[in-house]
Structure 1
Amino acid sequence: MTQPRRRIVVTGRHGQVVSALLDRAAVNADLDIIPLGRPELDLSDSGSIGPSVAAARPEIIVSAAAYTSIEQAEADEGLATLVNQTSAGVLGQVAAALGVPIIHLSTACVFDGTRSGGYAETDTVAPLSVYGRSKLGGERAIAYATADHAILRTAWVFSPFGSNFLKTMLRIAEGRDCVNVIADEFGTPTSAFDIADAIVSVARNLLASDEPGLRGTFHMSGSGQTSWAGFAEEIFRASRARGGPFAAVNPIPSYTYSSAVERPANAELDCRKLKAMHGVAMPGWRPATERVIERLFNTMQETTPMKERHS
């Protein structure tokens, strides 16, 4: 029996998560991923949201686009709040008006990072930054607008797409033998591919059942914990094994790194609720890193002429 096709409308066109969702749709015959971005949908213009989403005829909405530059948000609080909080609330209102569920991506930056171990959904939120406050505001605006929501908090997203820590490390290693990387901030690196798979599973569950336990806030990040320095070491190990760029890692304390914003020292998330309610077990971050680097190298080989590769 043929499965019905599901129309999943996703905010954004070129972000890591929407790119991973489009990749997954290519191998899932029952998924129609419809990305919405500028000029049709502009999260800095909340008036554009309702008409563009309604015209896309979603069965479910995924709120993936956001103002994600943590440092720039400190100097541009108004825009960060508009995009991450106000427009998120408008998306929730649109979902309620259309009678469809909404999945909203949020962040571990809603916590202050002072506890040890993984944060649970019930732990006290206390964001340290404009970005964290704006994302927390977005969570609350979504929850106020509609009960038919799943808020998915994640951390340290990486992929072959866009800008992220993994790609930055590989780029830096092309010109350096040693890289300074912070060693006293800990978290759970999360592949955008694994996020996309989790979103698809959660979306299918929300569409299949009105069960209240499937709604609410869930943590969704890679299994395991490491520091930025540990993540960099694994990136370079996997890259070197494939003949790619690598460098030695010099672990440094965060206080020696100049930054306009304070980040949580611990961004580890406890994802047991996601597994219990949605049946989603997030993969380990090390094998996920291997898969992303393998994808990057395969893509490079496909797009780089043979003569250039061996010049």
Structure 2
Amino acid sequence: MKILITGSNGQVGSCLVNRLQLKPEIEFLALTRQELDITDPAQVDTIVKHFNPDVIINAAAYTAVDKAEQEADLCYAINRDGPRFLAEAAHKNGALLLHISTDYVFSGEKQGVYDEEDPVAPQGVYGQSKLAGELAIVKICPRHIILRTAWVFGEHGGNFVKTMLRLAKTRDSIGVVADQFGGPTYAGDIADTLIAIVEKVMNKGVNVFGVFHFSGLPHVSWHIFAQKIFEKAEEQHLLDKIIVVNPISTSEYPTPAKRPSNSRLSNIKLNNVYGIKPSDWQKALTDLSNYK
């Protein structure tokens, strides 16, 4: 089996590379944005035609949520046009396309958990561009898996866990939003999920395509997530002081882009179809020395 990975130096892309290196039966080509610009259709077409992958995993994305409000053209180029070009190349070459999307396609105003059939209503440029990428893939490439996830963190790239640990070095107390809720999701678990889906489709003939949700449990607020990070850091002797985490409201921490107050995603469909359980984000915090 041959797998092409885009965005290979991002949070999920790096984890994919680490895991696929342990699977000698899989040949993979992992490319960074510098090596493959997915917004260039000619480049996408050439690389896909030359490598001839059975599977394409798109881990490339524009994820600067606030900056996207000022860089809409670039954001749409990466999050809408790039997936469209990959979908065209995948369909032309008979490849399965896996694509990572986001909770930001929803308004965040629902009371319960979001499932795959809930109406989408993105509130900012980032979410709108990601939804546009989803729609392009659905229209062009029938053999697709769109995996929506939320609150991604891991050892690679920038994320909330690293930010908290960095702030703890210079502060004794930190204010963290307590009225936004979601499921923190470990990037390594996303990589494992993508690989598991690929293996079930390619080796076991599971041909259920479409949109799936994958995120972590239990659902918490950012405030509770931060508290748990510091608890784990103290247990691992990475902090020499107790950090006070003060709950604040979204209105006390204004940002250029609106955040969903509810990012809780249901994992039931993914579990029923592919037998994949939600991300255990607390387990992923057991060795915070790797989050540098």
Q: TM-score range by the shorter chain?
A: over 0.9
Could you tell me how far apart the structure 2 residues matched to 1:33 and 1:167 are? 29
Q: Secondary structure at the match of 2:211?
A: strand
Residue 47 of structure 2 aligns to a residue in which SS? helix
- The farther-off stretch of 174-183 and 244-253 is 244-253
One-letter code aligned to 2:238: G
Q: Is this contact kept in 1: 2:61–2:79, CA < 8 A?
A: yes
Please name the residue that 1:215 is paired with: 209
Deviates more, 1:189-198 or 1:18-27: 18-27
Contact conserved, 2:33 with 2:60, CA < 8 A, in 1?
no
Aligned to 1:241: 235
| 1:167 and 2:162 are equivalent in the alignment | yes
Matched with 1:280 is: 276
- Contact 1:40/1:52 (8 A) holds in 2: no
Which residue does 1:257 correspond to in 2?
253
Corresponding residue number in structure 1 for 2:12 = 17
Match of 1:52 in 2: 47
Question: Gaps spanning 5+ residues in structure 1: where?
Answer: 1-5, 301-311
3-state SS, counterpart of residue 18 of structure 2: helix
Specify which of 174, 178, 188 is matched with residue 193 of structure 1. 188
Structure 1 stretch displaced more, 120-129 or 244-253: 244-253
Equivalent of 1:84, from 79, 87, 96? Answer: 79
SS in 2 for 1:9: strand
Q: Deviations over 1:136-191 (max 9, x none)?
A: 00001011111100000000000011100100110110000001110000000000
Higher percent of residues as helix: 1
Q: Deviations over 1:178-237 (max 9, x none)?
A: 01110000000000110011000111122135554x201000111220011111111111
The one-letter code matched in structure 1 to 2:40 is D
In structure 1, distance between residues paired with 2:227 and 2:186 = 17
With normalisation by structure 2, the TM-score equals: 0.95
Q: 2:226 aligns with which of 225, 232, 238?
A: 232
2:179 corresponds to which residue? 184
Aligned pairs, number: 290
SS at the partner of 1:34? strand
Which runs of no fewer than 5 residues in structure 2 stay unpaired? none
Contact 2:6 2:33 in 1 (8 A): no
- What's the TM-score once normalised by structure 1's chain length? 0.89
**SS state at 2:282 partner:** helix
Letter in 1 for 2:36: L
Counterparts of 2:285 and 2:49, CA distance in 1: 37
Matched, 1:32 2:32: no
Write the distance in 1 (CA, Å) between the matches of 2:96 and 2:196. Answer: 13
Q: Which residue in the other structure is 1:62 paired with?
A: 57
Distance 1:92-1:221 versus aligned 2 partners, 3 A rule: same
Aligned partners of 1:40 and 1:48 also within 8 Å:
no
Residue 286 of structure 2 corresponds to 290
Give the match for residue 7 of structure 1: 2
Matched with 2:141 is 146
Q: Distance in 1 between matches of 2:41 and 2:172?
A: 46
Work out the CA distance in 2 between the residues paired with 1:174 and 1:294: 14
Q: 1:40 & 1:50 partners in 2: Cα distance?
A: 14
Q: In structure 2, what is the equivalent of residue 305 of structure 1?
A: none
Question: Partners of 1:85 and 1:145 in 2: how far apart?
Answer: 13
